[in-house]
Structure 1
Amino acid sequence: MTEKTNVASSTVSAIPQEAFDWYDEYAHGDIDRRTFLSRLGALGVAGLSMSMVAGALIPNYALAEQVSFNDPDIIASYEEFDSPSGHGKGNGYLVVPKALQGNAPVVLVVHENRGLNPYIEDVARRLAKVGFIAFAPDILFSVGGYPGNDDEGRALQKSLDSAKMEEDFKAAARFLKNHELSNAKLGVIGFCYGGYISNMLAAEMPDIINAAVPFYGTPPKANIDQIKAPMMLQFGELDKRVNATWGEYEAALKANQVDYQAFVYEGVNHGFHNDSTARYDEESAELAWSRSVDFFKAQLT
């Protein structure tokens, strides 16, 4: 693990909840960057400038590296896969434990609504450090890949056909499940949009997905009654948008006798696991992560 310095806690604690809510709207395309910054400028937070608040909320991916890309315990590469029902070809970041002997459980890591950014690549490396083979597809491959900044990545992802994107992730799941190093036990973990994709894959691919961990993801649009995989669902208490969908989803999971656990982490926002922004909450993120790893070990090994 590498040492990193996050946004000063004094700055984070001074940011009012409205700013976090506006950032959530901005990050999900409900308002544009100019509107987001204009709202921050009108907020008038004592002791903090608009640029300080914006700087704390907008991702700084230098903060998000916990496992170096050249860590001696892992082998990382970019691999292509076929996606005939999607965009034809896909590509993703494959990370394998260097000490691997024989086959190992595999975990698909699904990014947010902006392509395969450095935070998600780091999540894949974290999984490889604890013994899993991890694969993080970049849904933007067909349009050149993650462009290096979230605003452009978000716009590119929004321009793609949603049904084809879902087919690309299904193809990635098949690619990983059938990988020569796979033990044929496939888990999926995703964040935000990736949380939705994790839910969707569990519903649409019940014979492929063996365990699912959606972080603050909305429910699948159909086939909840087809879910077979055990699930661990992670939520932030202050995430009103996603949490509003949970009651109906939980009722459906119960009605269909799905084996699930759900955790709500007190006082944290949507994106609390993402350590590149002020939404990150270290205590909750570490607890959610340890639970996720233990869950995958129990279900996939």
Structure 2
Amino acid sequence: MVTSAPWTLISGAVKGVAKKYSQDRSALLPVAGGRAVVLAVADGHGSAAHFRSDLGARWAVEEFTACARAFAYEVVRVGGDAARWTGLREEARRLPQQVGHRWHERALLHDCNAPAHGPAVPRRTAGEREGPRDLAAYGSTLIGAVLTEHMVFCWQLGDGDFVLVDDAGTPHTPLSTGPDMGDETDSLCEPEPWRKTRSYWRPFTGGPPPCVLLSTDGLSKSFTDDQGFLDFATGVRGRAAEQGVAAVQAQLPDWLARAATFSGDDTTLVGAIAASAQHSDDS
């Protein structure tokens, strides 16, 4: 648990049942003396075709964090000056492309030094160009957010969940695309993945929401329906108000471990609880 006024940060991760190691990665980063927070989760695909996806997930979180950290400083600098929000939104729209390029550069460099599919076939003629390298081995999803007391920005590529819980305890999933269609998902390993990245921006005109959560799909898949997952998110906010954030952080590993027994998947969650939503013992 990390305190970053006006937020307290929580995180938890468990390995999927019978999995050799986790393909999930996450990050929590206070910025500008705690006036902003960068959150990220990534889920490496993990199947035989994506046998290096633990690396892909790690790079996704690292490259997003590097880009989002610089952006977060700008968000803090602009603050509540609504006249400058348009510029922030323009910069936010460029961020997924920056992250995608940086991720692809790391994957290409690694694959050139240690080809996932063996040595490249020699060119047949001197003028023949080498085709694009197949980066499926490194495939990963990514959800990232920048959060301040004035606003939130969030970006999502692939599955997983971004949840805002409001003052009334109602959960909102503004980047949800509906029920998953099998195990197929958008991925950083695709050409120009930024074109499939969904984004969300919201100013907090009435104050920040009590709870912001990012999680890999191993959590939501552990419930029989979407409502069960949303109830879980609401419950995190409720426990923080009733018992304190420290109690939530202490119990989180057990909650995620139980979820993993149902989904069988790696399960990771990071979140920020607003000071106004915390039990007095945490204040």
TM bracket (short chain):
0.3 to 0.5
Using structure 1 for the length normalisation, give the TM-score: 0.33
Choose between structure 1 and 2: higher strand proportion.
2
Q: Which has the larger radius of gyration?
A: 2
